[in-house]
Structure 1
Amino acid sequence: MNFFKKHNRMIAIITVILLCSTALLLLNIDLNASKPAVTNKKIENPEKPVTPTQSDQTKKSESQKVVYLTFDDGPSKLTENYLDLLKEHNIKATFFMIGKNMQDPAYQQNMKRAIDEGHYIGAHSMTHDNTKLYKKKQFLSEMDETISFIQDITGKSPKLVRPPYGSAPGLNNKGVRDQIAQKGLKVWDWTIDSYDWRLKGKPKQIIENVKQHTSKKVEVVLLHETPQTLEVLPEIIKFYKDEGYEFGVYNESEHFVCNFQKDNRL
């Protein structure tokens, strides 16, 4: 009898253990089913998608040195020579042209060529006359007329203008600047004055002026369509290449403020 009692007791114990194990196994399966699946895929924030490419571009733009070569007072008999030289060096530039010069049909073809080759033409007034532009307050009307000439000849209607003799003191009048801003026009002066216009017969001094005043990551160089400037332009280009600058051309969608009035609207 004792044998059978012990045998039955062992069977009962084993049965209880098996039931408990089965219950625990079923409970574990249920808990795992309620957990979300874990994957190795990174969950990205859709509100701030920052890619390595964008980051690299930002770093590049912050460290990049850019020079904008700008040429005033065209079109002229030298415009073609300037375009030839710039094409030879694969450089795009920004030209500020005078309306009265555009009326000469002999110059109009080179205006079209400048646009076709990727240069930018901005307005530099009709007359370049200090009295008419500022004392008689004809600045805006002259710029409008010049822009119309550019559009008629090239098909482009620029938004950028350069005030003859600079925006200071020319545009000290805030009322005039208000009108310029309301029309959506932008104003560029310069960061470096080469003084090339008064250095006839002294072309080497033009280069020295440029070198001495180059110090910023972004420079806007004031040049003119003169024989002495054309003579030393290859040396100016070489200087900036040696200094690690890239050559920029004005882009309306990437406008930055460059006016002596420090008016952020222009």
Structure 2
Amino acid sequence: MNMTAGTNLNRGRSERNSRAKRRILRFMLLAAVCLLGFCTLRWVLFDRAAIAEQQGIIIAGWKSAVRQSAVTPDKFTPVEEDARPTGKIVYLTFDDGPTEWTGKFLDVLEQHGVKATFFMQGSQLKRENLQRFVKRAVQEGHYVGGHSMSHQYKKLYEEGEFVSEMKENLALIHDITGENPHLVRPPYGSAPGLNNKQIRDQIAKEGIKIWDWTIDSNDWKLKDHPEQIVENIKKATKVDLEVVLMHEKPQTLQVLPEIIEFFQKKGYRFGVYNDSGHFHLNFQKDHRL
């Protein structure tokens, strides 16, 4: 074999080796691309689904925890503002009944098509000659709530008899009317009488509800000046929801038609308390009551 032939042979072998190496490299590159594609596809189809599922589990657990927290007392409990009626509404309320005037108050309210809320006192409820007015009030669509048995500040607040007296008071109303009211008005208002949280805890535990007022007519001390009762109410009327404190007094009865007319001209409608639609209205701002 001459030198030229040997050289050509070596060159041929070298080219074949080079082509083989290139084929191997192309094969390895293709295999790497395929493997990368497979891994990517698996992540898209499986791993992301698993992650999403895991995220869903986490979110569901978080929502469950929030729901459980929402019913835990004093945690995430919304203020019951949604229960408040909308629009201009006034609640006429009368304390210290029943009295010999109760029937006449009911007459005036009936004449004007107005319902009211009465807070009646246990010592008066025991008077059998007045119980017919209590029954009539309920029959005509008014609400009768409690106002204690004794109306004595010391017994109710200093000696801690508030809850026991209100329970007895409400039981009397049930015996007379067959109703089961839960609303009471604290004599002299819930402040400062119910500053003691222990008493408020007892009230909440018993399911008793408290209403104070937004307007104090001071009618009880205006025997000779009934016109001033109306002026007091007019001056104090400022917001869409008003609760007017009055008493079963002859001077109040005298100007009751004028009071009703005033609110009608102001565009108010007249509300009557309903246990199922309770909203908090107490000077202590205790949303449990």
User: Which amino acid letter does the alignment assign opposite residue 244 of structure 2?
Assistant: V
CA displacement at 1:120 relative to structure 2 = 0.2
> TM-score, normalization: structure 2?
0.70
1:18-29 matched pairs, under 5 angstroms: none
Alpha-carbon distance in structure 2 between the residues aligned to 1:143 and 1:158: 11
Counterpart code for 1:257? H
Tell me if 1:227 matches 2:250.
yes
Q: Match for residue 96 of structure 2?
A: 73
- Indicate the residue corresponding to 1:157 in structure 2: 180
TM (norm. structure 1) is 0.76
The one-letter code sitting in structure 2 at the alignment partner of 1:178 is: D
The residue identity in structure 2 corresponding to 1:157 is: N
| Paired letter, 1:201 | D
Secondary structure of 2:191's counterpart equals helix
Q: Which runs of 4+ in 1 moved over 2 A?
A: none
Alignment of 1:123 onto 2:158 = no
Give a deviation string over 1:18-52, Cα, whole Å, max 9, x none: xxxxxxxxxxxxxxxxxxxxxxxxxxxxxxxxxxx
- In the alignment, the residues of structure 1 paired with residue 125 and residue 205 of structure 2 have an alpha-carbon distance, to the nearest angstrom, of 26
Q: Note the aligned Cα RMSD (angstroms).
A: 1.0
Shift of 1:257: 1.1
Partner of 2:157: 134
Which of 171, 192, 201 aligns to 1:169? It is: 192
* Counterpart Cα distance in 2 of 1:164 and 1:131: 11
Q: Which of 168, 174, 191 is the aligned partner of 2:214? A: 191
* Structure 2 segments unaligned to the other structure (5+ residues): 1-81
Structure showing greater radius of gyration is 2
1:102 to 125, 145, 154: 125
| Partner SS, residue 147 of structure 1 | helix
Aligned partner of 1:237 in structure 2 is 260
Alignment counterpart, residue 109 of structure 2, candidates 86, 108, 111: 86
Distance 1:259 1:104 in 2: 30
Partner of 1:53: none
Aligned equivalents of 2:278 and 2:242: distance in 1? 14
How far apart are 1:200 and its partner, in Å?
0.7
CA offsets, 1:54-95, max 9 Å, x none?
Answer: xxxx9xx64x10000000000000000000000000110000
Q: Which has the larger helix fraction?
A: 2
Q: What is the distance in 1 between the residues matched to 2:238 and 2:106?
A: 27
Matching residue of 1:212:
235
Partner of 1:22: none
Rounded Cα–Cα distance in structure 2 between residues aligned with 1:131 and 1:181: 21
Structure 1: runs of 5+ lacking an equivalent: 1-57
Q: Are 2:289 and 1:263 aligned?
A: no
Distance in 2 (alpha carbons) for counterparts of 1:202 and 1:175: 41
